[in-house]
Amino acid sequence: MELSETQAKVLEILQEDPRISMRRLAHRVGVSTPTASATVKELEELGVISGYKTLLDAGKLGLHTFHLRIHGDLRSWEDLVESIVGINEVHTLRELDDGSLLAEVLVPSLDILDGIMRRLRVLVGVEKLEVSRVTGEFKNSGTVQTDAATGLSIDCFYCKKKIAGNPVKLELDHRKHYLCCRVCASEYEAKYSRLKDKAGSP
């Protein structure tokens, strides 16, 4: 399931101007206003559009950026990730192919960074921390290249593999979810209701 030309154009324009009106968006894409609205809704449901945020310039606010590489024991990763994600100053947290985690941390002072390091060091599973301070930034576009030629495609919500052909659509809680096959659809539905039960229980 590759992105259509209309979807790709909508993404390109929305990344440039997230506050554009539907009418104006439709005009620029060359489709009707209802089609533009439906496309945006579909991209939101697909999870391709994950949100609309106000971008701030951290430097202007006097924040310092650090990259922390966190090495450790994979067995406790899930709890570890949850604890790190819960630290407000952690701006992004990514897993790298060598099994380590890379956190970007924005802090107003070195004292706060020290506090975060102390918290990280005592978490179960953390074996080694490496810290680098970001001293310059030359590009941080916050956008993704989406022109149709890149052949971007939608991944199955369950197995994360590319959806070949038409997706299986599941409607859960008034939202569409896109799966590659019936098997993934039923597994996904089971996982979804498990997570929902867990979230609902005290």
Between 20 and 48, whose beta carbon lies closer to Zn ion?
A: 48
Enumerate residues 6+ apart whose C-beta is below 8 A from 61.
108
In the complex, least distance from residue 180 CB atom to Zn ion, rounded to whole angstroms:
3
- Strand 90-95 and strand 101-107: the pairing is antiparallel
Three-state SS annotation for the chain: CECCHHHHHHHHHHHHCCCCCHHHHHHHHCCCHHHHHHHHHHHHHCCCCCCCCCCCCCHHHCCEEEEEEEEECHHHHHHHHHHHHCCCCEEEEEECCCCCEEEEEEECCHHHHHHHHHHHHCCCCEEEEEEEECCCCCCCCCCCCCCHHHCCECECCCCCCECCCCCEEEEECCEEEEECCHHHHHHHHHHHHHHHHHHHCC
Between 74 and 183, whose beta carbon lies closer to Zn ion?
A: 183
Between 25 and 180, whose beta carbon lies closer to Zn ion?
A: 180
In the complex, least distance from residue 161 CB atom to Zn ion, rounded to whole angstroms:
6
In the complex, least distance from residue 187 CB atom to Zn ion, rounded to whole angstroms:
8
- Strand 101-107 and strand 64-72: the pairing is antiparallel
In the complex, least distance from residue 118 CB atom to Zn ion, rounded to whole angstroms:
42
Between 9 and 177, whose beta carbon lies closer to Zn ion?
A: 177
| Residues from 149 through 188 that contact Zn ion (CB under 5 A) | 156, 158-159, 180, 184
In the complex, least distance from residue 179 CB atom to Zn ion, rounded to whole angstroms:
5
Contact 132, 66 (CB under 8 A): yes
# residues contacting Zn ion (CB under 5 A): 5
Between 104 and 155, whose beta carbon lies closer to Zn ion?
A: 155
Between 70 and 184, whose beta carbon lies closer to Zn ion?
A: 184
In the complex, least distance from residue 163 CB atom to Zn ion, rounded to whole angstroms:
7
Residue numbers of the site for Zn ion (CB under 5 A)? 156, 158-159, 180, 184
